[in-house]
Amino acid sequence: MLRAYKYQIYPNKEQREYFAKCFGCVRFIYNRMLWDRIEHYKQTGESLKSTPAQYKKDFE
């Protein structure tokens, strides 16, 4: 039997700002990785295998 649980959080102002910054950074890195992968495929015809850790040096 499968069960699902739903939780709702009520963050305060500081937590909302922290979540907004974290998700903004995650969205930026995801989009950057996607763009790099698409460009690499256009140039070489092969898929690019990358991880978010490879972007740490460029974007702290």
Task: Report the pLDDT value the prediction gives residue 52, as an integer from 0 to 100.
Answer: 86
Whether residue 34 lies inside any domain: the answer is yes
| C-alpha to C-alpha distances, 54 to 4, 11, 17, 38, 49, nearest whole angstrom | 35, 31, 26, 17, 11
Residue 60: pLDDT above 80? no
Q: Round to whole Å and give the CA distance between 3 and 10.
A: 23
Under 8 Å between Cβ of 46 and 40: yes
Whether residue 43 lies inside any domain: the answer is yes
Position 27 in a domain = yes
Residue 40, pLDDT > 90, answer yes
Full residue range of the structural domain in which residue 29 is found: 23-48
pLDDT over threshold 90, residue 35: yes
Is residue 18 assigned to a domain?
Answer: no
pLDDT-based confidence at residue 16 (cuts at 50, 70, 90):
very high
> Which pLDDT score, from 0 to 100, does residue 21 have?
94
Number of domains in the chain: 1
Alpha-carbon gap, residue 58 to 40, rounded angstroms: 18
Task: Report yes or no on 2 lying in a domain.
Answer: no
| Residue 9 included in any domain | no
What is the torsional sign of CA 6, 24, 37, 50? negative
